[in-house]
Amino acid sequence: MNGETNDLVEILKTGVEEVYCRGRIDLMDEYYQPDLVFHAPHPFNVTGLELFRETVDAILHSFPDFHEELIDACQVGDSVLAHWVISGTQQGDYSGQRNTGRSFRVHSIDKYHFKDDKIAEHWTGMDFLSMYRQLDWTLDEFVS
C-alpha cells in the first residue's frame, strides 16, 4: 500500500481478512453497521447486515478459497477508497449459477462509508462481467 495507513483503512483491511479470507462471518457485527447498504449488481446487492451475512456465507460456501488482497487504499474523512484483487475457485452452486469448478481473479475499486468505525455503506466496482466469463456463468443478469 502506498502512503500512510489511516485508522479506517486498518479496520477495513482487518475486517476483510477476518470475514472473507478466514471465513469468520461471526465477526461481521464488529465491522459492519446493522443497517448496512451494499451497492452491487443483482444478486449481490443487499440492505441490512443479516442479508449481507447470508450473502457472504453463501459466497464462502461456494468459493471456500475466496480471497481479497488489498492493493492500495486511502481514507478521506469517513470514507475509504480501496483497490482489491479478488479471487476464488467455485466448489458449489451459487445463486442459480451451476458449479463449474473454475477459478476467477478480478480487480475491484470499492468505496466504503464508515459510521462509528463500522462500514455503513459499501459501493463495489468489482469486475463482475470478467468474473462471470472466467467462471463460465450465464450473463442473464447483465442483459435483462
The whole-model pTM stands at: 0.89
- Kindly state the average pLDDT of the residues 9-16: 97
DSSP 19: I
- Given a cut of 70, whether residue 2 has pLDDT beyond it is no
Q: Which of 23, 24, 53 is nearest to 38 (CA)?
A: 53
Domain ranges of the chain: 7-84+109-124
β-pairing, 32-39 vs 118-123, is parallel
Q: Are 80 and 9 in contact (CB under 8 A)?
A: yes
- Exposed (0-12), middle (13-18) or buried (19+): which is 22, by Cβ within 10 Å? exposed
Contacting residues for 91 by C-beta, under 8 A, at least 6 apart: 62, 63, 64, 99, 101
- Kindly state the average pLDDT of the residues 35-47: 88
CATH architecture of 7-84+109-124: Roll (3.10)
Give the pLDDT confidence score for residue 113 in this predicted structure.
Answer: 98
Helix segments in 46-108, DSSP class H: 49-62
Helix segments in 17-71, DSSP class H: 28-31, 49-62
| pLDDT-wise least confident of 6-20, 33-47, 82-96, 112-126 | 33-47
Compute the distance between CA of residue 39 and CA of residue 50 in angstroms, rounded to an integer: 15
